[in-house]
Amino acid sequence: MKAWLNSETARYPLAVLCGIAWAFAFPLPGWSGLAWLVPALLWVGTFGLSRIEGFRFGYLVGLIHFLILLRWMRHMPISMGAYAAWVALSAYCALFPAVWVWASLGLFKSTSNSDSGSGWLGVASDYAHRSWLERAGLLVALSATWVALEWGRSRFLTGFPWSHLGSSQWQQLPLIQIASITGVYGISFLVCWCGLSIAGALLTLGFRPESRWSWTAETRLPLAITLMVMGWGFWEVMGYRRLESRVGARTVKLALVQPSVAQTLLWDPAEEESVFAKIESLSRDALALKPDVLVWPEGNFGLGQTNFMRMKTLLAGTKVDWVFCSDDIEERSTGFARFNAAFHYTAEGQLEPAYRKQRLVAFGEYVPLARWFPFLKWLTPIGEGFQPGNRPGFFRLAGGSVAAPVICFEDVFPHGIVGHVTSETDFLLGLANDGWFLESAAQWQHSANAVFRAVENGVGLVRTCNNGVTGWWDARGTRRSTLVDAEGGVYSLGILMIEVPVGLPWVETPYHRYGDVFAGLCTALAGWRLIRANWRL
């Protein structure tokens, strides 16, 4: 019986439970408290396993987590390609928690010379009987390794920084203010460190009962630092609200249009007129409310040359700016290049230079390796696809306000947004089309990721989406307004009128100035500890 309990097979139920809990920490349902348990379960659950067994355990946890987290990918209207993409991306992302478990077993090499013998009990007892300094150093190294792997996932193979551990805390405003210094990675570090420390304290309490208060040493430092971070964060949130009221900044009135059009209709030429009629009707209703700017989400919405002229006629004399997305075509010596772009049509009737999306979605906007394997183009509905833009864009809107447009999932990249913010930027303007994924968790997860870009860069975030979540968040990540229907859902068509403060004094955040220094330091620490533990330097 004891041998079976120490076996890899016996850990599978825990792996399944851990993967489910990790996924449920994010929307939906978004039980953020579960995120604090996941690293501890991953760590303690592998005591007594070999490194290869630990890798398999971590991979199973990660695979279950990402299959549940990314379940909305199944709704993409790409036939069986949607399921293939869902499984493939989940299988890739699962490598990162697997590597973390593998590294954790390398960082903590138990001698298993305790009275409890080998296996789980022996490793747990060995940990509890080590010095406080050694235990504390191990837990910091494990947390740094977690951050290092999240940072790697954000950048490797163009990056996929979707739902880092810290992103689960997106509604805990005092806690997430540290992102202005460390990026979202600082919250991931704190969540991981506190969870591991509580697990370590319980191990010490269980295996060293004679040392009545020694177990508290495990939690004193991480909990004290977390409380300090939250206290400072509360002060920052309240200070920003006091600043708004004291400065009395002018506002720009935006009409955010959410048409809620199915992706299959956007692709169907026969539906072009009905799709345009829908968003044109919403735009008429929005213009009746006298906004300064009319904003459409990402997507073409039947906006051909004829319908563009109809919109120009509708806007004539209204003194309203219009922001919309469409294809941008550029003639080159090798042919034509197509871009997914955002445009600003001014109240004076001028079409300003477009912002061209810089980060494209693989298989949604371009086909990787298509130059060498042309047949891959037939697996997706995008044909030749788009080309990436090469610079940020800035729209000077009504009242002298300056918006920095970002398209689709660009706002989930921490390092990718820094260049979009300058001292003149009043807010980030996210234009997204999550209608690819029907009415799912994708819309909420996208918002949870995007909110951190506001905190990291110290500017507001306005998001206009095809079917949610349309709304705006201030520079401290406070949700100020979102579009909801009578039942509280975010997926229905509608118009959201908002007044966003502009001209507020901007103080450059440490994250905006220095970028991912914290994540880089964590990576260096993790690498040094791994080398030291395995080569005894």
Where are the chain's structural domains? 2-242+517-535, 250-503
> What CATH number belongs to 250-503?
3.60.110.10
Between CA 226 and CA 522 the distance in angstroms is 17
Overall residue count recorded for the chain in this entry: 537
pLDDT for position 458: 98
pLDDT for position 316: 96
Nearest to 23 by CA among 160, 200, 152, 162: 162
Both tokens of residue 86? 């869902």
Q: How many CB atoms lie within 10 A of CB 30?
A: 16
Between CA 14 and CA 371 the distance in angstroms is 44
For tokens 């994708």, what's the residue?
A: 442
Phi and psi (nearest 5°) for 326?
-165, 175
Query: What SS3 string covers 332-347?
Result: ECCEEEEEEEEEEECC
Are 452 and 475 within 8 A, CB to CB?
no
pLDDT for position 496: 98
Both tokens of residue 226? 């977390």
pLDDT for position 380: 55
pLDDT for position 2: 60
Nearest to 397 by CA among 441, 360, 355: 355
Phi-psi region of 359 (alpha: psi -120 to 50; beta: other; left: phi over 0): beta
Nearest to 36 by CA among 143, 162, 181: 143
pLDDT for position 535: 74
pLDDT for position 537: 43
What does the pLDDT profile of the chain (537 residues) look like in tens digits? 566 567 788 899 999 999 999 999 999 999 999 999 999 999 999 999 999 999 999 999 999 999 999 999 999 987 777 898 899 999 999 999 999 999 999 998 765 544 445 689 999 999 999 999 999 999 999 999 999 999 999 999 889 999 999 999 999 999 999 999 999 999 999 999 999 999 999 999 999 887 767 778 889 999 999 999 999 999 999 999 888 888 777 899 999 999 999 999 998 999 999 999 999 999 999 999 999 999 999 999 999 999 999 999 999 999 999 999 999 998 877 778 899 999 999 999 999 999 999 999 876 777 665 555 554 555 555 556 789 999 999 999 998 899 999 999 999 999 999 999 999 999 999 999 999 999 999 999 999 999 999 999 999 999 999 999 999 999 999 999 999 999 999 999 999 999 999 989 999 999 999 999 999 999 999 999 999 887 754
Q: How many CB atoms lie within 10 A of CB 335?
A: 8
pLDDT for position 373: 52
pLDDT for position 368: 64
pLDDT for position 77: 86
Provide the sign of the torsion angle of the four alpha carbons 18, 19, 20, 24, taken in this order.
positive
DSSP SS3 for 446: helix
